[in-house]
Each structure stands twice: as structure tokens, then as C-alpha cells.
Amino acid sequence: MDKRLERILPRVQKPARYVGGEYNAVMKPKDEVDVRFAFCFPDTYEIGMSNLGFRILYGVMNDMPGVWCERAFTPWTDMEEEMRAAGIPLWCLESGDPVGQFDIIGFSVGYEMAYTAMLNMLDLSGLPLRSEDRSDLTPLVIAGGTAMYNAEPAADFIDLALIGEGEDVLPELITLFRKAKQEGWDKSRFLRAAAEIQGVYVPSLYTVSYHEDGTISAITPLDGAPERVYKRVVHDMDKSYYPAKTIVPSTEIVHDRVTLEVFRGCIRGCRFCQAGYVYRPVRCRSREQLARYARESVEDSGYQEITLSSLSTSDYPELVGLCGDLELFCGEKHVNLSLPSLRADNFSMELMQRLQKGRKAGLTFAPEAGTQRLRDAINKNVTEEELMESLRTAFSGGWSAVKLYFMLGLPTETDEDVAAIAELANRAVHVWREYASNKNRPLRITVSTSWFVPKPFTAFQWEPQISIEEYERRVKLLRSSITAKAVTYNWHDGDTSYLEAVLARGDRRVGRVLEKAYRKGARLDAWTDCFDLGRWTEAFAECGLDPAFYANRERGRDEIMPWSVISCYVSDSYLWRQRELAYQSETTPDCRTQCGGCGANIVEGGECCRG
């Protein structure tokens, strides 16, 4: 360990974030490695190490002969200050080597508010922020994750973006990079070749022109770049990598447990949900394989909790059977089995009895809207009676703590819809009074609201976000409507959701704002105690751009979107039709009930929802 680091660590919060040496961390002899990959997560250690995708790709790359993938995370503000004062560059945890010395620097960006942390990690590595100022092949700077479905705000800073699931495309890209490195290719030649790989988007190979009103007039590919970049999809989940033998952190992280991904994708089609569209089609892991992974992961890590994870886990066809398979093992090992959230329309007594056995922790449901009209508009396909029946089941089974998640600012929302959230919470209190089997434990109902953010590749990608003032008015309305003492109300900060909407639908010009905000001190913007909207407001003004143009403006059907080069296979015509149905409060059946013809079935040769 660097002697300077030894002196610093006693002065910072959570020094275990920065030292590595964890159980199962991969170490390789440097003389047996010809490609070194710095896998950077633009948030703190405890957030990054809780990310299953990060763990999967770490394992995929380290399974490749001659490739060593190491990890780096964003330092907290106190550590950054110490590093800059001591002249210590950002390093990777496995070897301790500076990130700037690696062949490839890859960022996992699942959230737009992580952009400034990404720039900070580049700066701490001693590298120029802009791709055009890094002329050599190495280090190559790439990014993947859900936020890259619109990579334009980051286009000036990355060399390429990976679109879709990385298990297949990353090894292909690394193999091409190895060839380029061995044969002495320059960066431009490599990028042109990389653009031929499905799922690779090279921003520098596209020029963007604009109308006088600021909207995009054309996106033009250069040097043979594809007109559309199609996402990569893992076709067979039973053959895809799962990190059963994974790093066990030396300090507490957010999700300190085994996370078992039961399937990828979602059958539901909620019209606001980006992940529900871009991860189509649904692909399940087999029940037998999941049971084996669960046992192997627990035995290797010593964790005492298994979370069954997906976008809608209670839609896994063999969920009750899988819980039964794990019941004896979990009992013997004193391991708790849990689901992060549940659908109110398929929560059963049988499932409840198999979950959280012996420990009645809280249950979580996400109705999203207070009235049936608005739930139909967003295609939630959950009725109030189904929610109440699930609560009756839970309360009669001994549960007394429930979290209910909603959104404010959804398209077509009215004050009546907002007030109905409070009415729904009050009805939940009455259900507890009537059906609770254990009234010795006090009832705790937590109502949480987030602010709707229109995202690319959703039915609401054309919608405006309501203003901050209007959002705050609706929060105040809901607060005043909640009267039951057993109900606690939490709401999401408005400033961060506003900027998230700006960045989510931002074009390439927003990159100038991003860099200027970073220079003004923007760092860990995903953290409310670090975020300052004022920096961003100043940056937009100095760049001559209006954030409301991106957040609060309705788009026309024929407008060219910044992400129009990218395809997740779900067609724009399908998304537009879903938008029209929203304004009619008409629902669309889930994918297992009836194929809606979204276009994603082409990925599976015309078959979706296998298993």
C-alpha cells in the first residue's frame, strides 16, 4: 500500500472502501495478462458492490485468459480532498495501480445523475475529460448501462458506448482491442472496426445538426457507421454467467446478501418504465439452476439472506416452487428468503408463508397511482381491490409493516388522483384493523412518492415533465391529505428528478453543460447532500441552453430524438400507440396473456416469455 494512503485512511469515513483485499477478489500475475480493464463504478463502493450487473461483468471478464478486470469506485468527498492534496491518482483495488495506466477504462452507468462522478473519476486518473484529447488507443474509455440508451450527454467524453447486455459484447470488444493492440492500430481504425460489432455505438462516427428552434434536424453516420445500433441481448439465461463465487466485501454495503436474478425483462409494459421496455424480451432462468446457484452462493459467501430479483419477481412462473426448493436449505443454514417488491395482483398466502419465515419484516407494493383511471393510463394492471386483498392476506398472516410506492406528475394526473393516494392509505389502515392477526405490533404504513421522469424508449418519452413548482404543490396537497397517524409520508427531492429529466432526454450539446457543472464542483449528484441545482442552472445559462427545453417540453411524434440511432427493438409506432391508449385510460394485456407486437420478439425468433 502507498505510504501516502496509509497516512490518509485514518482521516476519512469508511476507510475499508479504499483498500481492497476482499475474499474472492481476483488477482492475476501481471506477466500473464495482456489486457488490463479498469471497471469503474461512478458512485461509492457500497453502491457499486451492491450492483449485480457489475459483479456479473467482473466475473465474465476475469474468466477470459489474459484479461484482468479490476475495480475502482468514486471516492467520497473527504477522500477526494485528501487524494488531491497528496497527489494520489485514482487506483484499482486489486493491484493498487493507477487507473490511468490501464488499457481499457469502462464505466457502468445505470443512472444519469452519475455523469459528474464519471468525469471526476477520469480527472482523478489524470486523464483529459474529452475523447478528442485522448488521441492514443490506450486508455480506451467506454461506458455501458441503462443510461447509455441515450449516451448523447456523455458523447464528448467516452470513446464508445455499449448498448444492451454486456455479457457477450464485452468479450467481443476486448478480443478486437487485443488484436488492435498487438497489430499497432491507431484509435480511429479501432473505433471504425468496433462500430461493426452489434451493440457498440461510437459517438464520434455521427454528426448531429439542428434546426433553428434547437430540435435535431439530422443525425448522420460517418465512415460506414451503421444507421441504427441495435442492442445486444443474452438469449439463453441458463447459459449466461452468474457470479456464484463472488467478492465478499470487507465492509457493509447497501445490499449485503445473495442477489439471485430469476429472469430478465418484464411482461407488464408499464408505460413509464424504461427498464421494462429496453430489457425485453423476457428470458427466465430454470428453477433447478436457480436453486443450485442459491446454495453455491450462500455456501461460498456465508451470507444469511437471499433476494430473488428481477423487474417483477412475482411474475416468475415457478416462484412458489423455487421457494419450496430453497425452504429446507434456508432453514438449515438460517438464511432468510426475500423479495424486494411484490405485485398486488399475484401475492398469495402460499407465497407469503414461504417468504421471510420466522421474521415478519416489511412488505413492499408499488400501486404507482391512487386511482384506477390513472393506473389504467400507465398500464399498471393492478386494481385497488387486488391491493386490498393482498394486504388482507399479509395482515392476517402477521405482517404489520407495509411500504406503498407511488409517482407524482404522471401524464393525465389530476388533484383527485393525488388525493386518492391518501384515501388508499387510509383504506389500508382499515384493512389492518379488521384483519390483523397480531395487533400487539403497531401498524406502520409508509407512503413514498417519486417524481415522474420521462425516459427514452418508453410510451411517455414524448411527454413533458411538470415544473418543480407544480411538483412541490402536489407534494403539499398529498401531505395535507394524509391524516392517519399510522401512515408516514416520504417524497423524493424535486431538484434531482428535474435534472434527471434534463439529462435523460439531453442531446449532445448538454455535454458542454455537464463539463461546466463539473468544473463548478458537481460531483456525487446522486447524493442529495452533495447535489446543488444552482451549479447546473449557472452552467446551462453560461452555455446558452435552457434546461426546460429538455425537461418540460412536449415532443412531436416526428421529432428526431437524440437517441434515434439506438434501437432496443421495441418500435416507435408501438410506443406511440401505447401513449395514445394512456390518454384513453385503456390497458394492454401482459405479454404472456397476449403479444402486443412491440417488436422485441424478433430477438427470440418470434418467441417471447419462454419458461
pLDDT for the residue numbered 606 = 58
For the chain, residues with pLDDT lower than 70 are: 1, 349, 353-361, 604-611
pTM: 0.95
pLDDT tens profile 262-295: 999 999 999 999 999 999 999 999 999 999 999 9
CA atoms within 13 A on the CB side of 15: 9
Q: What interhelical angle do 510-519 and 115-124 show, nearest 10?
A: 60
pLDDT for the residue numbered 142 = 98
- List, in order, residues 6 or more apart from 566 with CB less than 8 Å away: 149, 150, 151, 163, 201, 228, 229, 231
pLDDT tens profile 341-378: 778 887 776 777 666 564 556 788 999 999 999 999 99
Tell me the pairing of strands 206-210 and 444-451.
Answer: unpaired
As a whole number of angstroms, the distance between CA 177 and CA 200 comes to 13
339 DSSP 8-state letter: -
Single-letter amino acid, residue 266: C
pLDDT for the residue numbered 611 = 42
As a whole number of angstroms, the distance between CA 491 and CA 504 comes to 21
pLDDT for the residue numbered 361 = 61
As a whole number of angstroms, the distance between CA 445 and CA 448 comes to 10
Instruction: Indicate the length of the chain as a whole number.
Output: 611
List phi, psi (to 5°) of 426: -65, -40
pLDDT tens profile 293-351: 999 999 999 999 999 999 999 899 999 899 999 988 998 999 988 887 778 887 776 77
